């Protein structure tokens, strides 16, 4: 990380103390985790005191299956593509509490004056539905970004002036970017000749894994046969 960002990080650490926690970065980016109760205060200070005047992007994250490998076997067959291990259902009841670190909202900030970028991450906590404060009053560009995160992840933004779906179809049920939402969806659309209109019905597609697992074990991968560097 450059000296400029290290200096900026020191200023931020001194200004916010325990309100923020720096996240280690492997690519030299400045990232912070912010407590949800401090979000608006920290966001306002970053805009006014550190000149991060522009919110470039806001997105939701679902960590439900983070770190879990779909493939857990060491063998494969030649019979089609449905060779992944079946996952257990993780669909939750509406009354259940979430893992406090399942859902997060990430904010990408830009300081045009200082030519600097910063990332914030806020976990929504265990509440169901997940909720954080809206930052529309801090950065007006958050309006549609927050609507998108609500539409795709079901994350609510307290204080948003017009929180409604923005990408999915009318009457859509569920949140398609959640990890427990089925890849094939829940309904399909077709033209019903008897009704004379487009109609919805339960999806009839068979769920399967479409990406084959290929295990290569032949001479190309034997260490003793690999070409050695000369000299």
Inside any domain, residue 215: no
Tell me the two tokens of residue 154: 């079901």
Please tell me the predicted confidence (pLDDT) of residue 203.
Answer: 84
Question: Please, are residues 178 and 130 in contact by the beta-carbon 8 Å criterion?
Answer: no
For the full predicted model, state whether its pTM sits above 0.75: yes
CA distances from 73 to 13, 214, 217 (A): 45, 11, 15
5: Cβ–Cβ under 8 A, 6 or more apart, which residues?
28, 30, 116
Inside any domain, residue 189: no
Please tell me the predicted confidence (pLDDT) of residue 227.
Answer: 64
Give pairs for 11-14: CB < 8 Å, separation 24+. Answer: 11/50, 12/46, 12/50
Vertex 142, ends 96 and 171: CA angle to 5°? 50
Q: What is the CATH number of the domain that holds 120?
A: 3.30.460.80
Inside any domain, residue 204: no
CA atoms within 13 A on the CB side of 204: 4
Neighbours of 41 (CB within 10 A): 15
Question: Please, are residues 125 and 100 in contact by the beta-carbon 8 Å criterion?
Answer: yes
Q: What is residue 158's three-state secondary structure?
A: strand
Inside any domain, residue 230: no
Please tell me the predicted confidence (pLDDT) of residue 30.
Answer: 94
Inside any domain, residue 72: yes
Question: Please, are residues 11 and 50 in contact by the beta-carbon 8 Å criterion?
Answer: yes
How many folded domains does the chain comprise? 1
Q: Which residue has the higher pLDDT, 39 or 82?
A: 39
Q: How many angstroms from the chain centroid is the CA of residue 211?
A: 22
Query: In the structure, what pLDDT confidence band is assigned to residue 56 with cuts at 50, 70 and 90?
Result: very high
Please tell me the predicted confidence (pLDDT) of residue 157.
Answer: 98
Mean pLDDT of the 100-120 span: 96
Inside any domain, residue 149: yes
Inside any domain, residue 190: no
Structural domain boundaries, residue 125: 3-182
Tell me the two tokens of residue 205: 């597609």
Vertex 132, ends 6 and 135: CA angle to 5°? 65
Please tell me the predicted confidence (pLDDT) of residue 32.
Answer: 97
Inside any domain, residue 87: yes
């Amino acid at each position: 990380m450059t000296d400029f960002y290290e200096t900026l990080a020191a200023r931020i650490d001194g200004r916010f103390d325990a309100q923020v926690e720096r996240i280690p970065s492997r690519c030299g980016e400045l990232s912070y985790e912010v407590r949800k109760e401090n979000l608006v205060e920290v966001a306002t200070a970053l805009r006014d005191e550190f000149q991060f005047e522009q919110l470039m992007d806001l997105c939701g994250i679902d960590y439900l299956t983070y770190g879990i490998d779909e493939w857990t076997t060491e063998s494969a067959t030649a019979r089609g593509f449905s060779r992944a291990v079946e996952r257990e259902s993780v669909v939750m009841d509406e009354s259940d509490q979430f893992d406090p670190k399942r859902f997060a909202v990430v904010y990408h900030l830009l300081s045009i004056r200082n030519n600097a970028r910063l990332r914030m991450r806020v976990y929504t906590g265990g509440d169901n539905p997940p909720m954080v404060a809206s930052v529309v009053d801090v950065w007006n560009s958050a309006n549609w970004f927050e609507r998108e995160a609500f539409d795709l992840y079901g994350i609510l933004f307290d204080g948003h002036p017009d929180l409604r779906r923005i990408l999915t179809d009318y009457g859509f049920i569920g949140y398609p970017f959640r990890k427990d939402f089925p890849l094939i969806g829940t309904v399909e659309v077709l033209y019903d000749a008897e009704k004379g209109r487009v109609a919805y019905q339960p999806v009839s597609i068979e769920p399967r894994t479409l990406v084959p697992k290929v295990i290569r074990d032949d001479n190309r991968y034997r260490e003793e046969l690999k070409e050695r560097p000369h000299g």
